[in-house]
């Protein structure tokens, strides 16, 4: 009976795919939902590729997942993935049923799945990854994710004991996941820009995970990313198996080394979190047995999705749009921190939104007080326009950050904000937008570019 029910679920789901395409729907989630509705233990029955890689973590998992897929493509290897689909149970179910024949047998030998941390509970009992790559664990949306140790515990409870972990050795929360599993650590050697005291509002790990003594940071990069030791019990950050070093921002290269060799890699993007992504991916491919030369070559074909950051120069004005993932205090702090690297005078437009559905729920705004809005309190930022449904909350938060009131302009309508923000030749306009407003951001950019084009003098 179970088998028949599974096949009916599989066929119904497969038949729904062309129907959805004809009707203009994105068939990345719904077919999986159909399959699960008909056969609740569908994931148990569906054939799976022999090698499964799962990419999870708070920040960067989509980027890493897509880079890995770009690299397999460049190597000419056909791999199943949930790219462009959802990273929850229905999204991965959809990918698996698309990657199986009509009898449910897998057509691929390898799969790469971006996996939502909390969904591992409903995925890993049946889809057992050979490798689990964790980018990092940070405080995220509090209403959804609680705190990072809670997410770490979910991963520990659900990652199969047979999975090999690829972990960020500079992130002591990730390091503590699934202590019994085989693992390798990656990280980036000390940088000139590292600090010894945390300048961010949030450092999610201040006490020793072993004895609860006070942790001493040998150096800190941002938040809790860095290396620490405990003077009470001797606990310390692990040695790296894969280390990023000799970062050359002029040549845009980074050396990634392990005990059997090293390679000089071209930077995909020069932000430090993307260098972490590169080292993590290199560790994964090395573990799979690829030589550095082959990984270096393949990585040249991977790219970071443009929608996260875009610079347009128009008539002497630099217009920068930067993704600042709303509700995720750490991701926004990283984005705000970047502004110190934008030379010259600038104005800022904040248009992140965390009020998706005014009738039903809204995120608690406490994340704004975990986020380093203080980084926007700079003399070279001449004006900050706050817009969107949270405009007043942003205004209040900026006042708490010490930004002079006369610098803040309240413009709840984003397009109006774009029309009214101060703009001068030789300066930059920095727009911070959320994940769900790419269309609106494009309109805002269009208005800014048009205005810049008309500037005289």
Of 176 and 387, the one with the shorter C-beta distance to Zn ion is 176
Q: How is residue 407 written in tokens?
A: 């610098």
Of 3 and 210, the one with the shorter C-beta distance to Zn ion is 210
Nearest approach, Cβ of 234 to Zn ion (angstroms)? 7
Q: Is 192 left (phi over 0), alpha (psi -120 to 50) or beta?
A: alpha
Q: Look-up: residue for tokens 């030589």?
A: 291
Q: Which of residues 230-289 bind Zn ion (CB under 5 A)?
A: 230, 232-233, 235
Per CB under 5 A, 337 contacts Zn ion: no
How many residues in the shown chain lie near Zn ion by CB under 5 A? 8
Q: How far apart are CA 151 and CA 148, in angstroms?
A: 5
Contact 183, 167 (CB under 8 A): yes
Q: How is residue 22 written in tokens?
A: 């004809």
Per CB under 5 A, 206 contacts Zn ion: no
Per CB under 5 A, 194 contacts Zn ion: no
CB count in 10 Å sphere of residue 214: 11
Q: What is the CA radius of gyration of the chain?
A: 23
Of 230 and 349, the one with the shorter C-beta distance to Zn ion is 230
Strand boundaries in 317-400, DSSP class E: 317-323, 346-350, 381-386
Nearest approach, Cβ of 191 to Zn ion (angstroms)? 26
Nearest approach, Cβ of 213 to Zn ion (angstroms)? 4
CB count in 10 Å sphere of residue 105: 9
Phi, psi torsion values for 361, nearest 5 degrees: -155, 165
Nearest approach, Cβ of 169 to Zn ion (angstroms)? 17
Q: How far apart are CA 134 and CA 119, in angstroms?
A: 14
Q: Which of residues 25-54 bind Zn ion (CB under 5 A)?
A: none
Residue 73 burial (10 A CB sphere; 0-12, 13-18, 19+):
middle
Of 149 and 337, the one with the shorter C-beta distance to Zn ion is 149
Of 41 and 232, the one with the shorter C-beta distance to Zn ion is 232
* Chain-centroid distance, C-alpha 97: 26
Nearest approach, Cβ of 232 to Zn ion (angstroms)? 5
Name every residue whose Cβ is closer than 8 Å to that of residue 212 and which is 6 or more positions away in sequence.
none
Write the binding mask 210 to 239 for Zn ion: x where contact by CB under 5 A, - elsewhere.
Answer: xx-x----------------x-xx-x----
Of 235 and 309, the one with the shorter C-beta distance to Zn ion is 235
Per CB under 5 A, 159 contacts Zn ion: no
Nearest approach, Cβ of 172 to Zn ion (angstroms)? 11
Of 203 and 269, the one with the shorter C-beta distance to Zn ion is 203
Write the binding mask 396 to 435 for Zn ion: x where contact by CB under 5 A, - elsewhere.
Answer: ----------------------------------------
Q: Which of 116, 107, 110, 150 is nearest to 129 (CA)?
A: 110
Of 100 and 208, the one with the shorter C-beta distance to Zn ion is 208
Of 34 and 205, the one with the shorter C-beta distance to Zn ion is 205
Nearest approach, Cβ of 103 to Zn ion (angstroms)? 54
Q: Of the candidates 208, 284, 299, 317, which one interacts with Zn ion according to CB under 5 A?
A: 208
Q: How is residue 67 written in tokens?
A: 């880079």
Nearest approach, Cβ of 216 to Zn ion (angstroms)? 10
* Chain-centroid distance, C-alpha 132: 15
Q: How far apart are CA 102 and CA 266, in angstroms?
A: 42
| Contacting positions for Zn ion (CB under 5 A) | 208, 210-211, 213, 230, 232-233, 235
């Amino acid at each position: 009976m179970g088998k028949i029910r599974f096949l009916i679920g599989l066929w119904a789901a497969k038949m729904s795919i062309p129907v959805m395409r004809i009707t203009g729907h994105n068939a990345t989630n719904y077919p999986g939902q159909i399959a699960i509705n008909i056969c609740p233990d569908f994931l148990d029955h569906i054939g799976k590729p022999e090698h499964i890689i799962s990419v999870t973590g708070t920040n960067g998992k989509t980027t890493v997942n897509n880079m890995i897929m770009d690299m397999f493509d460049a190597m000419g290897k056909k791999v199943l993935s949930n790219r462009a689909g959802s990273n929850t149970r229905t999204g991965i179910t959809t990918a698996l049923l698309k990657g199986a024949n009509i009898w449910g047998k897998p057509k691929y030998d390898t799969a790469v799945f971006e996996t939502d941390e909390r969904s591992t509970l409903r995925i890993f009992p049946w889809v057992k990854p050979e490798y689990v790559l964790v980018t990092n664990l940070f405080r995220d949306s509090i209403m959804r994710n609680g705190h990072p140790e809670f997410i770490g515990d979910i991963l520990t409870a659900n990652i199969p004991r047979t999975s090999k972990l690829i972990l960020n050795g500079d992130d002591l929360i990730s390091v503590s996941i699934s202590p019994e599993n085989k693992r390798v650590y990656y990280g980036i050697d000390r940088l000139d820009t590292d600090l010894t005291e945390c300048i961010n509002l949030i450092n999610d790990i201040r006490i020793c995970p072993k004895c609860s003594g006070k942790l001493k940071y040998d150096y800190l990069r941002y938040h809790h990313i860095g290396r620490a030791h405990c003077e009470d019990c001797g606990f310390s950050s692990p040695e790296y198996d894969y280390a990023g070093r000799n970062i050359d921002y002029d040549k845009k290269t980074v050396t990634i080394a392990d005990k059997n060799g090293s390679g000089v890699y071209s930077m995909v993007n020069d932000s430090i979190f993307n260098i972490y992504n590169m080292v993590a991916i290199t560790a994964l491919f090395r573990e799979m047995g690829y030589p550095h030369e082959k990984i270096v070559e393949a990585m040249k074909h991977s790219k970071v999705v443009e929608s996260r950051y875009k610079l347009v120069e128009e008539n002497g004005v630099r217009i920068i749009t930067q993704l600042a993932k709303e509700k995720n205090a750490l991701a926004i702090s990283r984005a705000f921190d970047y502004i110190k690297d934008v030379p010259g005078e600038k104005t800022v437009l904040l248009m992140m939104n965390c009020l998706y559905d005014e009738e039903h729920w809204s995120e608690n705004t406490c994340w704004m007080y975990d986020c380093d809005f203080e980084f926007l309190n700079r003399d070279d930022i001449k004006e900050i326009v706050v817009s969107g449904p949270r405009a007043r909350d942003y205004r209040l938060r900026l006042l708490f950050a010490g930004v002079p009131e006369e610098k803040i302009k309240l413009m709840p309508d984003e397009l109006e904000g774009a029309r009214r923000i101060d703009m001068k030749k030789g300066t930059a306009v920095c727009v911070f937008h959320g994940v769900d407003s790419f269309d609106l951001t494009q309109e805002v950019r269009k208005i800014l570019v048009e205005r810049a084009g008309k500037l005289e003098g």
